[in-house]
Amino acid sequence: MTRMNLSDGVRGGMFGLAAFGTFATHDAIVKLLADGISIFQITFFAALFGNLWIWLTMRSEGSFSIRPVHPWWIGFRSVATVVTGICAFYAFSHLPMAEVYAILFSTPLVITALSIPWLGERVGWPRWGAIFVGLGGVFIVLQPGASPLTLAHLAALVAVLSGAIVAITLRIIGPDERNGVLLFYPNILSLVLMSGLMPVLWITPSATQLGLTVMMSFLGFVALMCLIAAYRRAPASVVAPMQYSQIIWASLFGALFFNDPLQNHVVLGAAVVIASGIFVLWRESRASAG
């Protein structure tokens, strides 16, 4: 077995940190925009300007063909991707960023659980235990019964499930499909669906809002490219835990721009989810090494 070069691992980790920091900035812009225009219009602009970044991706791959190898899986993944984007945008627009991230951090645990029926993977009791402990951390964040659960909390939970489905389907078809194809179909589906809503929900954006939508779309593309670069240089066990750095960005942006105090139960719940996620990744890295 070829051992990972230390410098590759460090570069992969750094690209991962850059990716998730950029994603956090992207999410902060979504939260800012949601104060003036609807989530569906933000999604529309993200898809509209996303066409440029997809074109650049296809150009770098040397092919503009959009014919998928697995059309049904591509369609299913596209629907799940659109649902994830809308639900996550809605959650970020109505909840403190740190609270949303604490819930979204459970996505790797749901991916592990879904890998059993979908991918036929075996998950032993230590990882099952970590999954249940991590989901317990989500309940600590949600505080059912202690504080009212809102539609935004439900949206975050749906984003976790649909985001896990996106990841699982990527494992199934990723080796056969080009990046341009994987990006094109969710984007075009989102653009078509949101275009149908615009005659009803359209609010003419200001120059500042329009500029922020362009920046949001560009940051999403940059973050994705950094994440691809990270996974090409280092294994998932190195890159994936970098996602948990977003809680730092969320706390910073929340304090600076949104006057969101960091609640103790959110910190505790996030710590439980993060610890569970790192344990699952550690177990998977040991299994891969074996």
* Full pLDDT tens readout for the chain, 290 residues: 445 555 666 788 889 889 999 999 999 999 999 999 999 999 999 999 999 889 988 888 888 889 999 999 999 999 999 999 999 999 999 999 999 999 999 988 888 888 888 878 777 788 788 888 888 889 888 887 666 789 999 999 999 999 999 988 988 888 898 888 988 999 999 999 999 999 999 999 999 999 999 999 999 989 988 988 887 777 666 777 788 888 889 988 998 899 888 788 888 988 998 888 888 777 766 665 55
Q: Is 51 exposed, middle or buried (0-12, 13-18, 19+ CB in 10 A)?
A: middle
Torsion from C-alpha of 130, 132, 135, 136, nearest 10 degrees:
-100
Q: Where are the domains of the chain?
A: 6-289
Beta bridge partners of 243: none
Report the alpha-carbon distance of residue 63 to residue 239 in Å, rounded. Answer: 29
Name the pTM for this structure.
0.86
Task: Kindly state the tokens that stand for 259.
Answer: 């006057």
